[in-house]
Structure 1
Amino acid sequence: MNEIRRGELQQQTFYELVGGEETFRRLVHRFYQGVAEDPELRAMYPEEDLGPAEERLTLFLMQYWGGPRTYSDNRGHPRLRMRHMPFAVDRAAHDAWLRHMRVAVDSLELPAEQERQLWDYLVYAAASMVNTPG
């Protein structure tokens, strides 16, 4: 008899469920394509090349959703609000960020439940980065 013993059943992480690293790289790459063309958001990225920012967000999201801990291994605790404090993140920036992220999420064509779970987190994350009235 092939019986699963107590404690042996492993659950798939969201990261694995949606396709792992490839999916998160596609998501973030599509997002930064929008950012590159958005004057308001682009101004928040002091680096000439968006590549480093793209890599940081990719690694963060991969780790958050159950993938490798590379983000924390390289950068320590995420401390997202602290890392965004040097930038005036107002409602307009929040809305622009979500607008570009919506396009990126839609491009993945995830099953509805996974899309909702990802989107709900992104909406929450965007709201928690707002640090400037307006």
Structure 2
Amino acid sequence: MSEQLPVEASGPPQPAKVPLSGAEPGPALGVSFYEAVGGRPTFEKLVAEFYRGVADDPVLKPMYPEEDLGPAAERLTMFLEQYWGGPATYSEQRGHPRLRLRHQPFKVNPDARDRWLAHMRVAIDSLDLPPLAEETLWDYLQRAAHAMVNTFDD
């Protein structure tokens, strides 16, 4: 049942407006996942460990146009921060994430997906998160990786 606001002279009661975390800018309800897992330092560690694996991966590394993976790491950090309830820096600097569109120029086949997930699994394991947080993060990353597959060609 929805909460009702007091009756006003101008009309019937209206449902209370409750801001939802991640929906529109404004106050979140409670602590975000981002805050609960340690904020920026946690996501920086995750991304740094992930890119250590990518740097030596013969399938994934060529997908990064810059020789230095630093800019890619910063973009992923900002994206993950924003997605999980942290600062909206990613959208402020780059606009809507449009993940599938941004990955379309690259051949993301099941092998690339599985390699990406393997490096991300190592990165997640390095964080020592509580089990529910770890599973929540891993579930999202698996779904995101599967959604990025854009070809089944080798």
**TM-score with structure 1 setting the length:** 0.92
Letter in 1 for 2:149: V
Larger fraction in helix: 1
Q: How many residues are treated as equivalent by the alignment?
A: 127
Q: 2:137 aligns with which of 103, 107, 118?
A: 118
In structure 1, what is the equivalent of residue 99 of structure 2?
Answer: 80
Task: Give distance in 1, aligned partners of 2:144 and 2:120.
Answer: 12
Aligned residue for 1:95, secondary structure, equals helix
User: Structure 2 matches for 1:17-56, cutoff 5 A?
Assistant: 17-56=36-75
Gaps of 5+ in 1: 1-6
In structure 1, what is the equivalent of residue 32 of structure 2?
Answer: 13
- Identical columns (%): 64
Task: Give distance in 2, aligned partners of 1:10 and 1:94.
Answer: 34
Q: RMSD across aligned C-alpha pairs, in angstroms?
A: 1.3
Q: 1:67 aligns with which of 65, 77, 86?
A: 86
In structure 1, what is the equivalent of residue 110 of structure 2?
Answer: 91
Cα drift, residue 48 of structure 1: 1.0
Letter in 1 for 2:97: P
Task: Give distance in 2, aligned partners of 1:22 and 1:119.
Answer: 18
- The structure whose RCO (Cα within 8 Å, separation 6+) is larger is 1
4+ aligned runs moved over 6 Å, structure 1: none
Larger Cα Rg: Structure 1 or Structure 2? Answer: 2
Task: Give distance in 2, aligned partners of 1:74 and 1:52.
Answer: 13
